[in-house]
Amino acid sequence: MKRLVAFFIMVFVVSLFSVGDAMEHSLHKDKSAIVLAFFGTTYPSGVSAIKNIVDEVKEAFPHTEVRVTFTSNIIKSIWRKRQQEAEKWLNAGVPQEVLYVKGLIATLGELADEGYKNIVVQPTHIYHMEEVEDLYRKVHALQCIETVKEKWKPFKKIAMGRPLLGGIGDKHDYHEDIKKVVLALRDDVNLAREKGAVLVYMGHGNEFWSTGIYVELQKAFREVYPDVQVFVGTVEGYPSLEDVVEQLKKEAKSKKIVLKPFMIVAGDHATNDMAGDDPDSWKNVLKKEGFEVYPILEGLGEKDAVAGILVGHIRDAAKEAGLKLE
């Protein structure tokens, strides 16, 4: 009798492990995809940053489908109009995934129709502000879809990675994410050092969300590279160009400035707001204040080290969701 009881206990335990293994295997065998969410750009010259990140992600996960989506409705509408002259833009080096770019909902809908059950959405935005919050809410809403039969749910798992400088909450220390980015941009600091210049970054910012992250970013740069003065401002929100000019007047030890965008893509803002010929561009405002300005049109996404940070965020999101990306 004891042997019979022991036998049934053993069978029960083995069956538990088998169910667990089967569930894990099910998650792993289902088709998985990565969706890279960019704010977007209308500038063909800015597409290189997008392509670089896509290439880095595909290299890291060669057996996983990778799609691109834009979060800016204005930019998506511009590319829709340009589809009427598709050959012109394709010949200019614009990849099809940009020319025919879709929003998040449409992109995920296509993946669902194609049988992809597990998705990691990775924002390439700088920090968790309005655009990323909207992404999160859409992802959460889709994950909550219930069907009468479990097998007809559009997705089994939808995970979302944190943006470049980290996210909200205590799961990951955003200070560590900031430091990784600062270290990844050592070439910018070295260039300023070689020129005997200060380094000024122009970020995008936001009028509807706190932009204090840029102040913390500036502080981190100065801690890691104490011999090079780094100033960070934003097109929208704080610190503004006026705030940066005020800081430069008080603190700058050089009249030379290396001016770069702190944006994934060097598109419209970088070309016009930062380095344009209008009197109110950052370049010309700083020149008017007596500085010698060296504007450089290079998006953060063009740097492999920055793309590598986003790859790491994808790995973290997949691991936390119990997904295995290959």
Annotated binding site for Co(2+), which residues? Answer: 204, 236, 269
Q: Using an 8 Å Cβ cutoff, are 173 and 87 in contact?
A: no
Q: Burial code of 289-324, b = ≥16 C-beta within 10 A, e = fewer?
A: eebebbbebbbbbbbeebbbbbbebbebbbeebebe
Query: Active-site residue 204, yes or no?
Result: yes
Any idea which residue has 């290959």 for tokens?
Answer: 326
Query: How is residue 43 annotated by DSSP?
Result: -
Binding-site residues sit at 204, 236, 269
Angle 208-209-215 from CA coordinates, rounded to 5°? 130
Instruction: Sort 143 into a burial class: Cβ within 10 Å, 0-12 / 13-18 / 19+.
Output: middle
- Tell me which H or E stretch contains 38: strand 31-38
Catalytic residue among 125, 128, 204, 313: 204
* Order of all β-strands in the sheet with 157-160: 65-70, 31-38, 116-123, 157-160
| Cα atoms in the Cβ-side hemisphere of radius 13 Å centred on 140 | 6
DSSP H helices in the chain: 2-29, 47-60, 73-82, 86-91, 96-99, 104-113, 130-143, 174-184, 186-195, 213-224, 241-251, 268, 282-288, 304-320
Instruction: Sort 28 into a burial class: Cβ within 10 Å, 0-12 / 13-18 / 19+.
Output: middle
How far is 45 from 59, CA to CA, in rounded Å?
A: 23
In this structure, what is the dihedral angle of CA atoms 138, 140, 142, 144, given to the nearest 10 degrees? -150
Position 195, amino acid: K
Catalytic residues: 204
